[in-house]
Structure 1
Amino acid sequence: MTTRTLYLLCSAAPPVFDIAGVIEDAQRRSWDVCLGLTPTAADWLEDSLPGLEALTGRPVRSGYKRPGQPDAWPPADAVLVAPATMNTLNSWALGITGNWLVGFVAEAIGKGIPLTVMPCVNSAYAQHPQFLPSLETLREAGVRVLFGPGGFEPNAPGEKRPYPWAAALDAVDQHRP
């Protein structure tokens, strides 16, 4: 099996604390993983960043590079945005690119990079009138949205439940030739 490059892009939601194991699982699936984080997720994982960089062999990104700087990552063969918070999803769907992660995935739609997103919102957030239209906007743009049976199903506020990381990795595995 050929190694391909997966951009694993994470928002600040509790499943981000499991990211080292997710990276290892993706690597066992022959993905070369590049980890990107929203600024808040990077803050949450600040103490773990050196270990995550050692695990991936690449810098963890959470901000834009300076103009003219070379990119430290190879081009993506697939992108997984997970966990994706309400803020990340709505910003992406509305084209509000206030951070590097959302800016990258907004542009990736136009570049034709295979994109998969799995939300991480509780059932109260899922009732917000912008949530489902944002998911539909992303679907219409060609993004594979893993929401509902077989993907992420919202939990009650405060309820703890395992995040379906394996389903997300299974979905990006489908981008292999």
Structure 2
Amino acid sequence: MTRTLYLFCSAAPPVFDVAHVIEDAQARGWDVCLGLTPTAAHWVAGSLDGLAALTGHAVRWQYKLPGEPDVWPAADALLFAPATFNSVNAWALGLTDRFVAGSAAEAIGKGTPVVAMPCVNAALAAHPQFDQSVAVLRGAGVDFLYGDGGFVPGPAGPDAPAHFPWAAALDAVDRRVAAAAGGGASGAA
């Protein structure tokens, strides 16, 4: 049985590692569909054809037009990482003008197992809306990997975090799907 993972990425430096993440997910048995914010798509524009070839699916960053067929299979799980300050807040507030935020919001309503890992600096993480958004998403059942065991923000200024825990994010997806298949509670982190 093929399992489909929607991998959604915002424009943060870990997006440049997405090909390796796709390969890791594929090695774990996932059929990966890659969705990007418009800025993330711009950042990796030179790699879009290669990423589509790697996944076997069109890379999406915008909604399809009415009447167009859906080019992706249904998701068995969704991983939103790296999720920027803007993407986390838009998603939690239900602002769905962007494909990845809208699809992630819909996944919650469909009961799809959802895992998210932010990529924010400490200055943005200190904004009061960020904690509220994290709480909203966790309350909606998203396994939000932030803090111990997930992403820990560094200081404002550096272009890239020293280490983005991609493996921990994929491990969390595997656990959520296994818990959902076994009928167990998956509890948000």
Question: TM-score with structure 2 length normalisation?
Answer: 0.91
Q: Which runs of 5+ in 1 are unaligned?
A: none
Task: Return structure 1 stretches of 4+ with deviation > 6 angstroms.
Answer: none
Deviation at 1:3, TM superposition (A): 3.1
Provide the C-alpha distance between the structure 1 equivalents of 2:48 and 2:27, rounded to a whole number of angstroms: 21
AA partner of residue 143 (structure 2): R
**Aligned-pair distance for 1:162?**
1.3
Give distance in 1, aligned partners of 2:42 and 2:65: 20
Match of 2:184 in 1: none
1:168 match = 169
For residues 96-141 of structure 1, the C-alpha deviation after alignment (integer angstroms, 9 at most, x for no partner) is: 1121111111111111111111000001111001001100000111
* Secondary structure of 2:148 counterpart: coil
Secondary structure at 1:124 match in 2 = helix
What is the rounded CA distance, in whole Å, between the counterparts of 1:28 and 1:12 in structure 2? 25
Q: Percent identity?
A: 64
Shift of 1:69: 1.1
Task: For residue 150 of structure 2, give the secondary structure of its aligned residue in structure 1.
Answer: coil
SS of 2:7's partner is strand
- Give the equivalent residue in structure 1 for 2:11: 12
1:84 equivalent in structure 2:
83
Q: What SS does the corresponding residue of 1:67 show, helix, strand or coil?
A: coil
Q: How does 1:51-66 map to 2 (within 5 A)?
A: 51-66=50-65
Q: Which residue of 2 aligns with 1:149?
A: 148
Which aligned pairs between 1:108-123 and structure 2 lie closer than 5 A? Answer: 108-123=107-122
Match of 2:125 in 1: 126
| 2:168 alignment partner, SS class | helix
How many residues of Structure 1 are paired with residues of Structure 2 in the alignment? 176
Q: Distance in 2 between matches of 1:162 and 1:135?
A: 21
